[in-house]
Amino acid sequence: MTPTANPYARTYPHGPFTVVEVLGEIDLATAGFLADHLDAATSHPAPDVLVDLRHVDFFDCSGLRELCRADNRARERGGRLRLVSDTPRLHRLLRAASLFRRFPPLAHFPEPDQEPDPE
C-alpha cells in the first residue's frame, strides 16, 4: 500500500522502479513522513527504490538515518535503494557522514534496462 502524499514525500512508479520523491526540509520533525514512504517502498520482495532528493531544501542526520534503515530493509529483501541527487550540498553531507560510497548519488533517473553509472 502506498502512503498518502504529504508535504515532505510522495511515492510513484517509474518503469520498474518505485520513486520516493522527497520535498522541502527533512529533519527530526519531518523524517517520520519520509519514513512512511520508505517503509512502504521497501515492504515487498526485491524492491528497486529510487529516492529523489533533487527537491530537498534541507536534509539532516534524521533523514540519513531513515535512508540507512530503508537501505538495510531493501537489501534484506533482495532489492536495492539508490539516491538521485544533483546537489553538491547533499553530496558533501553524504561524504561527511561517510555514506557516499553506500549511496553514490545518480544525477538523474536510470533507464529501466541499463545499470546506471554513479556520478
Q: What is the pLDDT of residues 65-77, one digit of tens each?
A: 999 999 999 999 9
Confidence of residue 119 (pLDDT cuts 50, 70, 90): very low
Determine contact, residues 81/112, Cβ cutoff 8 Å.
no
Q: In DSSP terms, which residues pair with 52 in a beta bridge? A: 21, 84
Is 48 within a domain? yes
The CATH number for 18's domain is 3.30.750.24
What are the E-state strand segments in 1-119? 9-14, 17-26, 48-59, 80-84
Closest CA to 49 of 57, 39, 59: 39
- Count of domains for the chain: 1
What cell numbers appear for 60 in the block?
539532516
17-26 and 9-14 strand pairing = antiparallel
Q: Is the pLDDT of residue 29 over 90?
A: yes
Q: Is the pLDDT of residue 11 over 60?
A: yes
Is 86 within a domain? yes
How many other CB atoms are there within 10 angstroms of residue 96's CB atom? Answer: 10
pTM of the entire structure?
Answer: 0.91
